Structure 1
Amino acid sequence: MTFTPKPWPRKLRSQDWFGGSRRDAIYYRGWMKNQGLPHHLFDGRPVIAILNTWSELTPCNAHLRDLAERVKHGIYEAGGFPVEVPVLSVSESAMRPTAMMFRNLAAMGVEEQMRSQPIDGAVLLVGCDKTTPSLLMAAASTDLPSIVVSGGPMLNGYFAGERVGSGTHLWKFSEAVKAGNMSAGEFEMAESSMSRSPGSCNTMGTASTMASMAEALGMALSGNAAIPAVDSRRRMIAHMSGMRIVEMVKQDMKPSDIMTRDAFKNAIRTNAAIGGSTNAVIHLLAIAGRVGVDLTLDDWDAWGRDVPTIVNLMPSGKYLMEEFFYAGGLPVVIKTLGEAGLLERDALTVSGLTAWEQVTEVVNYNDDVIRPVDKALTASGGIAVVKGNLAPNGAVLKPSAATPELMVHRGRAVVFEDIDDYHARIGDEDLDIDETCVMVLKNCGPKGYPGLAEVGNMGLPPKVLRKGITDMVRISDARMSGTAYGTVVLHTAPEAAAGGPLAVVRNGDMIELDVPNRRLHLDISEAELAARLSAWTNPIETPAGGYARLFHEHVQGADTGADFDFLRGCRGAPIPKDSH
């Protein structure tokens, strides 16, 4: 697409606060000057907010203070005025009941900070997986010029001579302990090898997936997604992003110019090619809803279905983000998609170049890490969207992380009413379950958990693990970590707590999963299903108050992004009325 920059110089939004000699301008400038800022910084140059999700309780983002300084260098060099602004940092590793519950809160808070303060553009400094979508949602809502800078993945982990992928090996080692193949002491020894440097997950989990989505959408500079957190080139791209955002403000290049329907098509295809997280489905639906692009689960299935998974990274493959970067990173993937006719080449990016223009010269340095299309991990990757009487609004599954033999399966349901019921019964040797069964977990969706927790990849019963079985079909209205794997059907919609058919599945019901034909069927009659739904009563109580109540009353289903109903749509960033 073509983009026409607006004439420069022109009066910027921040000048309604800082410009002129009126009393209120002196008030605003005077307070800012208590930081030792010289008068010439208020002369009409772009004011750039570095929206920093740094927090020591968000380990993936604990190094972002240093990165913010590098962004400042770039902003100053390009003639801008940088201001570092702390924003809510949503930590996947520490927040309860689930970080997903607070993605919308972070997005809402950041949106209002952008709208209410004297800024002309923003650098979205992100890392841990919910920080990336929450800040992109805010930027989409305000439509101020914005650019993403990711914190980068941590270095490879190693234990007993084996690569250790953050998250992926946590699930793998935990199952090995339950199966009796690894001691508890060895599990503890492995702990320190899992996260041995600053940065986010080193697998293609949700953090690396969302960094890739930001780049594929065109909202980050080319190459941003994969540079390790401790690599000097991570600081360099932060500096260059600082320079670029100043030019974007001068050109008035906004998120709505970049995040078009074609951009989302590129992101969905890229997600398929990298074997990206199922969480990207929810986040991209939410971001699209904010920027005003009509995006559905059917688009996810249609655009990603015939895209091969070519990135050989855990949890789908064997390598980690370090090797991905050394092989050439996401630009190589985007070039490969372009050569295969699977890229909207003219989609605009924050660099000012198109998606295709900025990758034509990149080289693949390791074709086992980033494979040619004819040697793909999965010929038809993407996120599979299955529907049927058990999921009228859809559910998702990640084929590249699933067991091929289970993609068509009929089995007896073993039902867990909620996550507490699962924990109480899964280790019971008398539990009536074997590897042919279908594990069903209810009441873990947006309203049910609350917050749509990452509990969908239920660990298998110990008595099944001891047989050497490592996968079973699992169905829930929950999410799973992007670092997890297995034949896991997620985000079943409507969720159980909203009265979806999942709520009335019973032990012994037969369930049919047919991924090639995109079908998920509860094998009971329509009359029986209707009778069960009519007799159903909701076990989930409305929270008494606070954010939990706001969340419960306004969160939408996973099939539309689990955003709040009152936050969808771009509201822009008008200049607020002066209160002085």
Structure 2
Amino acid sequence: MRSKNVTKKIDKAPQRSLFKAMGLTDEELDNPLVGVCNSVNELIPGHTDLDKIADAAKAGIRMAGGTPLEFGAIGVCDGIAMGHEGMHYSLASRELIADSVETMARAHALDALVLIPNCDKIVPGMLMAAARLNIPTVVVSGGAMLAGRHKGKDIDLNTVFESVASYKVDKISEAELLEVENSACQTCGSCSGMFTANSMNCLTEILGLGLPGNGTIPAVYADRIRLAKYAGIQVMEMFEKDIKPLDMLTEESFENALKVDMALGCSTNTALHLPAIAHEAGIELDLELINKYKKEVPHICSLAPAGSHHIQDLHEAGGIPAVMKVLSEEGILNEDLITVTGKTIKENLAKAKVLDTDVIRDFATAYHAEGGLSFLKGNLAPDGSVVKQAAVADEMLVHEGPAKVFDAEQEAVAAIHAGKINPGDVVVIRYEGPKGGPGMREMLTPTSAIAGVGLDKEVALITDGRFSGATRGAAIGHVSPEAMEGGPMAIVKEGDIIQIDIPNGKLNIDLTDEEIQARLANWEAPEPKIKTGYLSRYARLVSSASTGAVFK
């Protein structure tokens, strides 16, 4: 036991004395010490209930013979941070979370961990820490929010964003906007569609670090509390059997995750977080695999924002095990991999079945013949870019149009609201990458504005920043290299013709290589937007989006 370094031997009396200052007994100190990292706070609706999850996990740990010791982690709500300086901190918080979990576990010689995240950057941050620490770990999230209801239809946070744009162009009244605002988010939990938080909670199951149900059991269900208790019990079994995260986080498990990502139509942010988690596991995840697997795995679940279903519908249809079962029956998944259940994927799926064939379709009746994401390259994105293909209208899968260029998100939003964007345009938002942002701001406001004014089937958006998992339309993000690093995005001019071919993975500007190089030769990097504090340090350390925006 690692904890014997602070609990055993005569010369550890001072350390034991400090533990006893908190009321621990000799018997508790004889047990394995299990850290319970709880990101509960009163700022994120997905995290307000995590105290109950932590209490349940600690009960499970005690039932199985461990001593739980709870500590906290920060979290940023992307929805609340959206559209102002707060969004600079969202992606950047992922590294702080990973570092803080590592620090607490190593400093206090913990034997095992139960990690309790729920929202966008907290989940990958904790998964990165799990890979880095490689001590027995189970992740149990707080669960998804239930969808709201308005005029007989399920709605969600994305509905509110789009309704703001509809109000600004007089499509709805202020009174109706208020009705939507008051109806969309009715419970605690991670926002109810297949947005980034739920994408990552689902992929945690695929990677083997979350128990079945982790991605889809709604936050307000009693099943979520029971799941947390089982997570506490299971981490002790992992400790006894010496099963560690790197036993699960293999090349094959990341490939499985990408394949299920295609079936689900997950957020484009998974293309940032999976490589970052893989990096901590010593694995280089090639994002060009996205285009390989999108041809092999069709889009069989159409959840918001691409479709009308929400996470609760996916759960009632059989959850992630049912989705995996469909893929396994097609011979798509590697089923021999171990998971935190102590069993293989094949054993976990033995009783899984699809309970609603509209929510989870088979390959023959898939919503789209190709998977949910597409990886685009070309002279505008030499190192790649990503789009949520499943949420793009058929009319926009192939598009060519003149660039409308903006050097910041707020400039683009103002132009959209002012009616300055025309059908056929390609909105280019640059200097919003990991370095240029800094922090690679998530931009749901401009994409929702485009959808809200009715142009999502006529206008594309391209950025070296990123888009929310709630985004729909031809929104291409993560363009790499970013403008701040002298990527081709930096030299796009108003009116340049941008060529988009999502099915074939192409993103180009209609310029010769010579013209691109001539423009780049005359380009000078702008002054950093933020020169002090954590974000200044982050901008100096962070790598490209194409490598997961990890620290160098």
8 A contact 1:171–1:484 mirrored in 2: no
Equivalent in the alignment of 1:19? 8
Q: Deviations over 1:238-295 (max 9, x none)?
A: 0001000011112221111101001001111111111111001100010000111121
Partner Cα distance (1:412, 1:108) in 2: 43
Q: What is aligned with 1:199?
A: 189
Instruction: Determine the structure 2 residue equivalent to 1:370.
Output: 360
> 1:129 — aligned with what?
120
Pick which of 67-76 and 93-102 moved more: 93-102
Mark the CA change 1:268 to 1:460 in structure 2 (over 3 Å): closer, same or farther. Answer: closer
Superposition pairs of residues 129-208 of structure 1, within 5 angstroms? 129-166=120-157, 168-208=158-198
Match of 2:292 in 1: 302
User: Aligned-pair distance for 1:227?
Assistant: 0.4
Distance in 1 of aligned mates of 2:169 and 2:262: 32
In structure 2, give the amino acid aligned to 1:427: H
Task: After superposition, give the CA deviation of every residue in 1:482-514 in whole Å (9 maximum; x if it has no partner).
Answer: 112111111000011111000110011111111
Q: C-alpha displacement at 1:170, in angstroms?
A: 2.2
Q: Percent identity?
A: 36
Higher mean displacement: 298-307 or 118-127? 298-307
Residue 345 of structure 1 is aligned with which of 307, 330, 335? 335
Contact 1:389 1:501 in 2 (8 A): yes
Deviations 1:142-189 (A, max 9, x none): 1111111010001121012110123x2123323322342211221112
What amino acid is aligned across from residue 19 of structure 2 in structure 1?
Answer: M
Partner of residue 268 from structure 1, selected from 246, 254, 258: 258
Answer whether contact 2:444 2:470 (CA < 8 A) is retained.
Answer: no
Alignment pair present for 1:327 and 2:313: no
Aligned to 1:108: 99
Other structure's SS at 2:115 match: strand
Aligned residue for 1:82, secondary structure, equals strand
Structure 1: state its 5+ residue gaps: 1-11, 566-580
Corresponding residue of 1:209: 199
Of residues 422, 442, 459 in structure 2, which corresponds to 1:434? 422
2:69 match: 83
* Greater helix proportion: 2
Give the TM-score normalised by the residue count of structure 2: 0.96
Shift of 1:465: 6.6
| TM superposition score normalised by structure 1 | 0.91
RMSD over equivalenced CA pairs, Å: 1.7
Residue 39 of structure 2 corresponds to 53
Q: 2: distance between equivalents of 1:304 and 1:49? A: 38
Q: In structure 1, the residue corresponding to 2:70 is in which secondary structure?
A: strand
Whether the 8 Å CA contact 1:205–1:482 is kept in 2: the answer is yes
2:57 maps to 1:71: yes
Contact 1:301 1:382 (8 Å CA) reproduced: no
| Residue 468 to residue 453, structure 1, CA distance change in 2 (3 Å) | closer
SS state of the match for residue 219, structure 2?
coil
Structure 2: runs of 5 or more not aligned: none
The answer (yes or no) to whether the contact 1:159–1:193 under 8 Å persists in 2 is yes
Residues 316, 485 of structure 1: 8 Å contact kept: yes
- What is the CA-CA distance between 1:193 and the residue it aligns to? 1.2
Residue 456 of structure 1, CA deviation = 6.6
1:473 aligns with 2:460: yes
Distance in 2 (alpha carbons) for counterparts of 1:158 and 1:542: 40
Question: Which one of 375, 379, 388 corresponds to residue 398 of structure 1?
Answer: 388
The number of residue pairs the alignment matches comes to: 547
> How far apart, CA to CA, are the structure 2 residues paired with 1:247 and 1:46?
12
In the aligned structure 2, how far is the partner of 1:360 from the partner of 1:471? 45
**Distance across 1 between alignment mates of 2:201 and 2:455:** 35
Equivalent residues of 1:456, 1:490 under 8 A apart:
no
Q: Map 1:166-565 onto structure 2 (within 5 A).
A: 166=157, 168-429=158-419, 431=420, 433-455=421-443, 458-459=446-447, 470-541=457-528, 543-565=530-552
Aligned equivalents of 1:422 and 1:395: distance in 2?
A: 20
Aligned to 1:39: 26
Contact 1:50 1:122 in 2 (8 A): yes
**What SS does the corresponding residue of 1:136 show, helix, strand or coil?**
helix
CA contact (8 A) 1:92 1:129 kept: yes
Look up the equivalent residue of 1:337 and give its one-letter code: L
